[in-house]
Amino acid sequence: MKKIIVTGCNGQLGRAVNIELGNQEEYELVNTDVAEGDGIHPLDITSVDAVTAFAREVKPYAIINCAAYTAVDAQEKDVDLSYKINAIGPRNLAIAATETGAKLVHISTDYVFDGNGTRPYIEFDKTGPVSMYGISKLAGEQFVEQFSRNFFTIRTAWLYGDGKNFVKTMMRLSETHDEISVVNDQVGTPTSTAELARAIHGLLSTENYGLFHGTCEGSCSWADFTEEIFRIAGVSTHVNHVTTQQYAQMNPTTAPRPKYSILENYMLKLTGGYTFADWHDAIEQYMKNFILK
């Protein structure tokens, strides 16, 4: 049985990976996170010694890095921690993967772009992050490329799954509000962790290495997404469409949000990889499985 180290196993994607791969006879998951838990090994990915020692002990077939520092605003001040988790962590995992001959799956983000695009970003487009989160995640990508032999880096966006996320926030707000204001000038693709986990599963057994974009098909604004969530749930809360500037006056943020976050899964399509579901279908499935049951 092939052992797979999963970092950040308690996060949304880590949980989805466990659902997708946990019952596969081919694989044995070795779950890790910052804190020890039931069946979870404590692992500090910011320590190269800890990571390499753990990898030598496990001798993994693959490492799936679901760990990340995603508090976008906090990272504008907490620069050291941003680099430690989002850049040094992936570097350490890449070093350990190379030493043990393991494949590495690393998850990155649309924030590596400046968000001023006029067409969907493909993997060959120039990056240009404008927030600390994007800067540190791009550095992580570069370390993975530098220190890994066999890697899959997957950029995703607007991720939701089993855990704290935008969908649950909107549903919670709908319980106490007749109307809510949501930005309509930031566009992207809501992406289910279940879909991303399936894409990871599809790549794992291949040698189709490199950089990929992995998001659901189609696109919308955050306001459009909220309206679809409420439609599926049968919620009557009205969604006011507001600009980023208008929203910032009500809820100030530190880090700039990309206005354009649509990623094209160009490499997956060129190489015959997994085809993601349309975002409408994915959110409907998610709502049935996690919200409306």
User: Residues 202-258: pLDDT tens digits?
Assistant: 999 999 999 999 999 999 999 999 999 999 999 999 999 999 999 999 998 899 999
Residue 240 lies in a domain: no
Enter the tokens of residue 256.
Answer: 């700039």
Report the pLDDT averaged over residues 15-44.
Answer: 95
The model's confidence at residue 277, banded by pLDDT at 50, 70 and 90, is very high
Please give the pLDDT value at position 36.
Answer: 83
Which residue carries 């962790």 as its tokens? Answer: 193
CATH number at residue 40: 3.40.50.720
For residue 200, what are the CA distances in angstroms to 84, 195, 204?
24, 9, 6
Residue 175 lies in a domain: no
Whole-number Å distance between alpha carbons of 61 and 4 = 6
Enter the tokens of residue 114.
Answer: 């400046």
User: Cα 199 to the chain's mean position, in Å?
Assistant: 12
Whole-number Å distance between alpha carbons of 75 and 98 = 29
DSSP letter, residue 37: B
Report the pLDDT averaged over residues 154-169.
Answer: 98
- Are residues 44 and 50 in contact, defined by beta-carbon separation less than 8 angstroms? yes
Enter the tokens of residue 151.
Answer: 């890697």
Domain span at 39:
2-165+189-218+262-278
DSSP letter, residue 110: G
Where helices occur in 118-237 by DSSP H, the ranges are: 132-147, 166-174, 193-204, 222-233
- Out of 69, 111, 133, 247, pick the active-site residue: 133
What is the per-residue pLDDT across 81-138, written as a single tens digit (0 to 9) for each? Answer: 999 999 999 999 999 999 999 999 999 999 999 999 999 999 999 999 999 999 999 9
**What dihedral angle (degrees, nearest 10) is formed by the CA atoms of 69, 71, 76, 80?**
-30
Whole-number Å distance between alpha carbons of 84 and 91 = 10
What is the per-residue pLDDT across 167-194, written as a single tens digit (0 to 9) for each? Answer: 999 999 999 999 999 999 999 999 999 9
Residue 273 lies in a domain: yes
For residue 130, what are the CA distances in angstroms to 65, 111, 204, 260?
23, 8, 32, 13
Number of domains, the chain: 1
* Percent of the chain's residues with pLDDT above 90: 96
247 is catalytic: no
Residue 256 lies in a domain: no
Residue 76 lies in a domain: yes
pLDDT at 293 over 90: no
| Greatest pairwise CA separation for the chain in angstroms | 56
Please give the pLDDT value at position 152.
Answer: 98
Whole-number Å distance between alpha carbons of 282 and 119 = 23
The model's confidence at residue 146, banded by pLDDT at 50, 70 and 90, is very high
**What dihedral angle (degrees, nearest 10) is formed by the CA atoms of 146, 151, 154, 159?**
-110
pLDDT at 37 over 90: no
Residue 72 lies in a domain: yes
Residue 232 lies in a domain: no
AA identity, residue 181: S
DSSP letter, residue 160: E
Residue 274 lies in a domain: yes
